[in-house]
Amino acid sequence: MEESKLLIEDKNIVTPGDILAEGLDYLPSSGCYRTGNIIKSKYFGVVRIKNRYLSVIPLAGAYMPKSGDGVIAKISDIQTTFWICDINSPYDAILQIGEVAEEYIDLTRTDISSFFDIGDIIYAKILNVTKSKNILLTMKDYRARKLIGGRLIKVTPSKVPRIIGKEGSMIELIKNKTGCQIIVGQNGIVWFKGQNEALAAKVILMIEKEAHIPGLTDRVNAFLDKFSNIKGEKL
Amino acid sequence: MKEKEKLIINRKRLDGRDLYEMRKIEIQINPIKNSMGSAMFKFGKTWAIAATHGPRAAYPKWQQNPEFSILKTRYMMLPFSTWERSKPGISRRSIEISKVVNDALSNVIFLEDYPKTMIDVFIDIIEADASTRCAALNAASIALALAGVPLKDIVSSCSVGKIDGEIVLDIAGFEDNYGEVDCAVAMIPHEEKVLLLQMDGIVTKEEFKKMIMLAKEGCLKVYESQKTAIKQAFTNIIDIE
């Protein structure tokens, strides 16, 4: 049998069609595909190697919903028994009334806009994604709630893991130093509220721009320290 | 009768190029910030700009395909792109080129990854000096890669032709008008897969084989410059720091 060859290293930058490995010993994970004996990249992105599994994390692209993700959604329409939500993805999500209220609701007497109205921002969990991309949301999660006030910014969905950091270290750091409440949706929408909103926005946009450069935590720390003495002031 | 003017003198073409030499390639990454990915591609004076939007929800809704994404390509020449003003908007020619470019690109995109959506590719020719459809395809495939659309490979394209009885690479405007054969080729160079092949004029079988071999070399050159350009999008960010 032919010997398998790895042609790239971890964290290399690849373009679509770049050959990652030859031979059958390596397996394509997300972001790459196999043709015959070779594994090729699908995206312009960064390679990740985990034992035998190769994957490519794209540097840009639309958000693809996964069940279990926490997302920040905007109510875009109200129907009789459900809400239609915009989750910053090519597909709309549906939030059914049973996933919002614990008790029985008599729909002949209640207007469900008393729960959520058009334009409201919510943090919800994705309950299920079918093969034909019908997405169901749920509010039956300890983190799920309606977000009142605050600001929203959009970032590239593939960079959300860097904003959160290892076990939430990065987001914890920003929360502590700015004193803001921050919620990051897996769909690339960040909500924050507090005194130092402008600083928080700047830091998040900086992380998005430099997400792939090593030593990010130190730079974020230095950036925040620069402004820590003017805490409370508007920037 | 006046003798026909020569297009090749001392094995050099009118713009000073060798027979198998390409015009200078220039690529700019993300010139349009509002789109998800965009690119400018220049073959000498031929200048194409491409922008992509999507994948996004497909509307009108009856066009949605539950299994695949829809790719919509629009190629257009701007009124000032040619020597004489061309009428703005779609024409018979632009509809045809939009279709062939769309067909070439739909071979490399994983359309099954995004069901019920559509991907828009808008290509404008800012200046035309022959082989515009090649520049359009090159720009579009860079733009798609930058937008994070899953691709099998990058499409590279270049033109070959025959002028004064000689096979040449990369036809320029006057060579297109006064030459014998003009042939646009788009391929995935490493796999030798041809995605687009259009030709007008008459050639022999041997000449045609030579032309395809030449086009492959040209496409490889374009492919390398496309790849380095895409990787620039990454290094640009480091430079800002």
In a domain, B3, yes or no: no
In a domain, B1, yes or no: no
In a domain, B64, yes or no: yes
Contacts of A108 (CB under 8 A, 6+ apart): none
Smallest Cα distance from B122 to chain A, Å: 17
Smallest Cα distance from A100 to chain B, Å: 26
Smallest Cα distance from A203 to chain B, Å: 14
CA A2 from chain centre, in angstroms, equals 40
User: What residue ranges in A97-228 does DSSP mark as E strands?
Assistant: 121-129, 135-138, 145-147, 151-154, 181-184, 189-193
For residue range B124-169, list pLDDT tens digits in order.
999 999 899 999 999 999 999 999 999 999 999 999 999 988 999 9
Please report residues of A whose CB lies closer than 8 A to that of B148.
43-45, 58-62, 158
Please report residues of A whose CB lies closer than 8 A to that of B190.
17
Average pLDDT, chain A: 88
CA distances from A193 to A121, A148, B74 (A): 13, 9, 42
Q: Does residue B55 have a cis bond before it (omega within 30 degrees)?
A: yes
Contacts of B35 (CB under 8 A, 6+ apart): B51, B52, B53, B143, B147
Say yes or no for a CB contact (<8 Å) between B116 and A17. no
Place of tokens 């009856």: B62
Confidence of residue B238 (pLDDT cuts 50, 70, 90): very low
In a domain, B103, yes or no: yes
SS3 call for A32: strand
Q: What is the pLDDT of residue A120?
A: 93
Q: What is the pLDDT of residue B4?
A: 73
Confidence of residue A235 (pLDDT cuts 50, 70, 90): very low
In a domain, B136, yes or no: yes
- The answer to whether A59 touches A16, Cβ cutoff 8 Å, is no
Provide the ipTM.
Answer: 0.85
For residue range A94-132, list pLDDT tens digits in order.
999 999 988 888 888 888 889 999 999 999 999 999 988
Say yes or no for a CB contact (<8 Å) between B57 and A90. yes
Confidence of residue A208 (pLDDT cuts 50, 70, 90): confident
Q: What is the pLDDT of residue B1?
A: 58
Q: Which domain holds residue B221?
A: 17-240
* Domains (range + CATH), chain A: 5-58 (2.40.50.100), 70-147 (2.40.50.140), 151-228 (3.30.1370.10)
Say yes or no for a CB contact (<8 Å) between B57 and A40. no
Among the partner residues A40, A90, A132, nearest to B56 by beta-carbon distance: A90
Q: What is the pLDDT of residue B99?
A: 95
In a domain, B7, yes or no: no
For residue range A36-67, list pLDDT tens digits in order.
889 999 999 989 999 889 999 888 888 999 99
User: CATH number of the domain that B52 lies in?
Assistant: 3.30.230.70
Chain A residues within 8 Å of chain B (Cβ atoms): 13, 15-17, 31, 33, 40, 42-45, 58-62, 64, 90-92, 132-133, 158, 209-210, 212-213
In a domain, B187, yes or no: yes
Q: What is the pLDDT of residue B241?
A: 36
Residue B208 has pLDDT above 60, yes or no: yes
Q: What is the pLDDT of residue A84?
A: 95
Among the partner residues A45, A58, A209, nearest to B237 by beta-carbon distance: A209
Tokens describing residue B154:
């990058």
Residue A231 has pLDDT above 80, yes or no: no
For residue A158, give the chain B residue with the closest CA.
Answer: B148
H or E segment at B225? Answer: helix B205-240
CA atoms of B207 and B209, how far apart (whole Å): 5
How large is the angle between the packed helices A169-178 and A197-209, nearest 10 degrees? 150
For residue range A137-168, list pLDDT tens digits in order.
999 999 999 999 999 999 988 888 888 888 88
Kindly state whether B217 is in contact with chain A, defined as any CB-CB distance less than 8 angstroms: no
- The answer to whether B52 touches B151, Cβ cutoff 8 Å, is no
In a domain, B10, yes or no: no
Q: How many domains does chain B have?
A: 1
CA atoms of B226 and B27, how far apart (whole Å): 8
For residue range B18-47, list pLDDT tens digits in order.
899 999 999 999 999 888 899 999 999 999
- Residue pairs between chains A and B whose CB atoms are closer than 8 Å: 84
